[in-house]
Amino acid sequence: MSESPILTAWSSFYIMTGSSAAALVGLMFVVISLVRVREMETARDGISTFSTPTVMHFGAVLLISAVLSAPWHTLFYATLSLGAIGIFGLTYVIRIAYRATRFLEYRADLEDWIWYTVLPFLAYGAILAGAIALWILTAKALFVVGGGVVLLLLIGIRNAWDVVTFLAAGGPSQGNG
């Protein structure tokens, strides 16, 4: 059996998105390491509500890129993997939304809800829908998955910038950002 030719056509796309996600995860580690130790205690809930999901989205992009760059002989395992990532992502976003409602040091505004919950939910939903459709409409489904991946990457870039500017402006010790 040979490698799936439809996935081979997407290899450059996933090499690019996966590499970008990996580099951005590294930058998030640098940013978080710059948070002063005294702020870490008060910032812990904010980090788990706003920064950790950003790293998770980059991680999902990296994982999807690895899954779809693997030399599968059949689409079954790629489909199964994408479906699991989509379901996990949807569940994770719901958990983050719940966590955001309980976070008292900062009240998420409409923009935060859109970028930290609504758009990631749509991205993971697209990935799950693409996984489901992969058997029937393979070429179109891969565009849906690719759209979800790019959306997660853009969400991560925007949210990483949001976290960096929040911390640069004084972070949790100086009120809402």
pLDDT, tens only, 18-58: 888 888 777 777 766 766 544 555 555 555 566 788 889 99
Q: How far apart are the first and last CA of the chain?
A: 55
What domain range is 72 assigned to? 5-174
How many other CB atoms are found less than 10 A from the CB of residue 51? 22
Supply the pTM of this predicted model: 0.81
Structural domain count, the chain? 1
Average pLDDT over residues 87-94: 96
Tell me how far apart the alpha carbons of residues 164 and 177 are, in angstroms, rounded to a whole number.
Answer: 10
Q: How confident is the model at residue 109 (pLDDT cuts 50, 70, 90)?
A: confident
The average confidence (pLDDT) of the chain is 81
Residue 129: what residue type?
A
Q: Which residues of 73-107 are buried (b: 16+ CB within 10 A; e: fewer)?
A: eebeebbebbbebbebbbebbeebbebbeeeeebe
Q: Which two tokens stand for residue 167?
A: 């911390």
